[in-house]
Structures are given as structure tokens and as C-alpha cells.
Structure 1
Amino acid sequence: MEATSARQRLQKMLADLDRSIGVLRGDPLSANDRSPADAGSDLSDADRAQAMLAVATTQRRAVLDALKRLDEGTYGSCLDCAKPVPEGRLEARPEAARCVQCQGKRERRR
């Protein structure tokens, strides 16, 4: 992926993530604004929002790291094996830091 195109996509992703994180961090409705029938879903909604916030924050970090790799001239090289990350992977996941094989190894270790 060409550096200018990658930077534009990553910056758009970052802006979208920042908006989403802002919404997820917004103040929930106070207990007085909720009906008793909604009380049971409060915990579920809060847990769901917290999980979504965690995912968005992790993805935001990956996008910032990818922008840093662009600045350093290492974007598109696998962090583990230094081989090129396939173009198709970067098209699908511009923030990808590893080739498919190394990413698979990393996920199996978890």
C-alpha cells in the first residue's frame, strides 16, 4: 500500500475511533432517568460498553503504532520476521503490524 494512501486511511480510522471512544465514554443516564424496567439491563449495557471501549482503545493504539511505523519508514514490514506484510492484508487491516504467519503464531501463544 502506498504510504500516502495508508496514512490517509489510518488517520480516518483514528478519527472514527476517537469519535467512538468519546461516545462510549459519555456519561450514562443517571438512575433517576431510567425506569425500573430498565434497571436489569443497566449492568449488561455497561459491560457491553466497557468491552467495546476496550476494543476501540486497543485498535486506536494499533493505528497510532502504524502511523509511527509510517513515519519511521518501517510500515509494511512484519515486526517479528521483517518480511513484507502482504498488500492484501494491509488493504484489509492498514494497522497490521505482522504478516499473517507471525500474527497467527502470536495469537496461538495467547
Structure 2
Amino acid sequence: MDIATARARLEAMLTDLDRSIAILKGEHPERDNSPADAGALLSDSDRVEAALESMQDHRRAVAAALDRLNAGTYGQCLGCGATVPEGRLEARPDAARCLACQTKHDKSHR
């Protein structure tokens, strides 16, 4: 993937994530003291918090990929230094590691 295409995709992802995060923050349910609504609101609130956390993590990964792109290290595995395969970057433009290193990373962070 060429640098211009990668930059455009990453910037579009960042814009979409920012928009989604803003929407979720605006829809965060207020907690009510009503016993009848407490369980439903807690459940909704938990789902919104989990979605926000996931989106914010993804946003950090996309911003880090843009930083790597600006530094000239985009597409270089953070684990082994090898080139991240083109197909992986096509599927996940924010990928920081080759598949083998990502698998090791995921296992060590469980």
C-alpha cells in the first residue's frame, strides 16, 4: 500500500472513530434512582462504556499508525522489525506487527 493511500485510509478511520466516540458520549445514559430502571440503565451504561473503551483503544492504534507513517516506519513490525505483509495492512491499516508477533503480543497481554 502506498503512503498516500495509507494516510488517507488512516485519516478517514480517525475521523469516523472521532464521530462515533462523540455520538456515544452524547448517548451515554444517565443513571436514575428508580429501582425499576436501575438494572436496565446499568446494563446500557456498561455496554456504552465497553463500546467507548474499544473505540478509544482503536483510535489510539490508528493515531499510532499515523505517527509511524510520519516517522517513516509505517509497515515495519514493532516486534521483529520485518515488513508487515501488504495484505495485513490492507485488512488492518493500523496493524503495528506482523501476524506472528501480533499473536505473541496478544498471548502475553491476556
- Same fold judged by TM-score > 0.5? yes
Shift of 1:28: 3.8
2:107 — aligned with what? 108
Q: Distance in 2 between matches of 1:29 and 1:58?
A: 21
TM-score after normalising by structure 2: 0.89
1:11 is aligned to: 11
2:56 aligned residue: 57
Instruction: Give me the whole-angstrom Cα distance separating, in 2, the residues matched to 1:29 and 1:96.
Output: 33
- Determine the structure 1 residue equivalent to 2:22: 22
User: Counterparts of 2:56 and 2:75 in 1: how far apart (Å)?
Assistant: 22
Q: Does 1:97 align with 2:96?
A: yes
Residue of structure 2 in register with 1:42 after alignment: 41
TM-score by length of 1: 0.89
Q: Distance in 1 between matches of 2:16 and 2:60?
A: 13
CA distance in 1, matches of 2:106, 2:28: 34
In structure 2, the residue matched to 1:85 is: 84
CA distance in 1, matches of 2:45, 2:5: 37
Distance (whole Å) between structure 1 residues aligned to residue 88 and residue 28 of structure 2: 37
Task: Tell me by how many angstroms 1:80 deviates.
Answer: 1.2
Q: Which runs of 5+ in 1 are unaligned?
A: none
Aligned residue for 2:2? 2
Kindly provide the amino acid, as one letter, of the partner of residue 7 in structure 1: R
Partner of 2:65: 66
In the TM superposition, what is the alpha-carbon distance from 1:40 to its structure 2 partner?
3.0
Q: Percent identity?
A: 56
**What RMSD over aligned residues (CA atoms) do the two structures have, in Å?**
1.8
Structure-2 separation of matches of 1:67 and 1:16: 15
Residues paired across the two proteins, number: 108
Can you give the 5+ residue segments of structure 2 that lack an aligned partner in the other structure? none
